[in-house]
Homo-oligomer: A and B are copies of this chain.
Amino acid sequence: MKNAVTKTKPRAHSHSHQRQEMSALTGRLRQQARKITGPRAAILEILRQHPHPLTNKEIFAAMSGGQCNLATIYRAMHLLEEMGMVKRFDFGDGTARFELVGEGDDGHHHHLVCTRCAEVVEIEECFPSAIESRIAAANGFTSVTHKLEFFGICPECQ
């Protein structure tokens, strides 16, 4: 039995940031009859080790020797997004960012971004669903969701 000694139980964040097993990731691809290719494995590996959203260019740069074409990354991110394996985020700078999403998790969460140095903090809080429901009802809308990001100056940059 491992870890028999007292140990702080790891806090499971609502948006699961515990790294996913590579096998679980490739398994999800196989289930959908998609191929496990070099580029895809490399992309998933990079996403796996980053706790914050990455741009396609950042993913591309993170690959040692241009393991694949940038267009391939764009295509892969679309596929992964459709499959619900990654979530797309928009920090308002005209560049999409992607984060790996845990199995069964829809990935909905928010960030606090430093407008000086671009540091990113993962945020647990969400827009109060009671208020959102009220907004939806008041306007006759259904399936209402939201995009929400926070911006400010981080401790380092103040």
Contacts and interface: CB of A to CB of B under 8 A. Distances in A.
Interface residues of A, number: 33
Interface stretch (A10-18, A42-50, A63-71, A149-157): A149-157
A75 to B, nearest CB: 18
B142 A153 contact: yes
Interface in A108-134: 112, 114, 121, 123, 125, 127-128, 131-132, 134
A94 B149 CA distance: 16
A109 to B, nearest CB: 12
B146 A121 contact: no
A90 B154 CA distance: 23
B148 A153 contact: no
